[in-house]
Amino acid sequence: MAEEVFLSPRKRGRIAVLISGRGSNFTKIHDAVRAGRIDAEIGLVFSNREDAAGLGIARERGLETMFVNPRLFPDKEEYDREILREVRTRGIDLVCLAGYMKVLTPAFCAALKNRVMNIHPALLPAFPGLHVQRRAIDWGVRYSGCTVHFVAPEVDMGPIILQAAVPVLPDDTEDSLAARILVEEHRIYPEAVRLFFEGRLEVRGRRVRILDPT
């Protein structure tokens, strides 16, 4: 069987950002959109938490925001179907998870294959999951960093788009390492979104090739 190849669309796109907290990665993506570095607009900032600070920032910036309470849904499947409906209604091309603390269902991931990105504060496949800066320090690794990847049903395991490494210093605390990594997150997440809408991300199996600009 021929290998399936996905090529990201070269177009002016529409982005939905899913957040659960402070939204600094969302803010950096929006900064890049506003500066014209990403050829897209943000059509929705969605949260599973009403108190997510990022929702307030999005409102101040005049973006459409939405909070949907997971408790009002019988299960995760129904909840994710609701998100999918909202995403489709708005003609969204790319969903960016930016500190979204809920695991997406396999059905959601399959419906939007290669259309959902996530940022993770470690060099995947090392340290998937939670508390990753603490675990990196406890392991004594010399380098950690961050990864932007497409989302697949296995948590934190989809095709890797961009990574950046930072040193782990002897006196690092969880917070100091997280802060060093966050600087790189803010650089590579907007960059990955830019490459997506420049039609420069080619996915074959679990490998992503970054095509030269044409």
The catalytic site residues sit at 120
Amino acid at 108: F
CB atoms within 10 A of CB 165: 13
Q: Which is nearer to ligand GRF, 1 or 130 (CB)?
A: 130
Q: Are 29 and 60 in contact (CB under 8 A)?
A: no
Tokens of 159: 């095709």
Which position among 15, 95, 119, 152 is part of the footprint of ligand GRF (CB under 6 A)? 119
Q: Tell me how many residues contact ligand GRF (CB under 6 A).
A: 14
Q: Buried b vs exposed e over 77-113: b needs ≥16 C-beta within 10 Å? A: eebbbbbbebbeeeebbbbbbbbbeeebbeebbebbe
> From residue 28 to residue 57, what is the string marking binding to ligand GRF with x (rule CB under 6 A)?
--------------------------x---
The verdict on 158 binding ligand GRF (CB under 6 A) reads no
Provide the minimum distance between the beta carbon of 181 and ligand GRF in the complex, in angstroms, as a whole number: 7
Q: Strand pairing partners for 41?
A: 14
Provide the minimum distance between the beta carbon of 191 and ligand GRF in the complex, in angstroms, as a whole number: 15
The verdict on 120 binding ligand GRF (CB under 6 A) reads yes
Peptide bond into 125 cis (omega under 30): yes
- CA gap 186, 182 in Å, rounded: 6
The verdict on 13 binding ligand GRF (CB under 6 A) reads no
Which position among 80, 83, 84, 99 is part of the footprint of ligand GRF (CB under 6 A)? 99
Which position among 172, 185, 191, 198 is part of the footprint of ligand GRF (CB under 6 A)? 185
The verdict on 121 binding ligand GRF (CB under 6 A) reads yes
Q: Strand pairing partners for 143?
A: 167
Residues lying near ligand GRF in the complex (CB under 6 A): 19, 21-25, 54, 98-99, 119-121, 182, 185
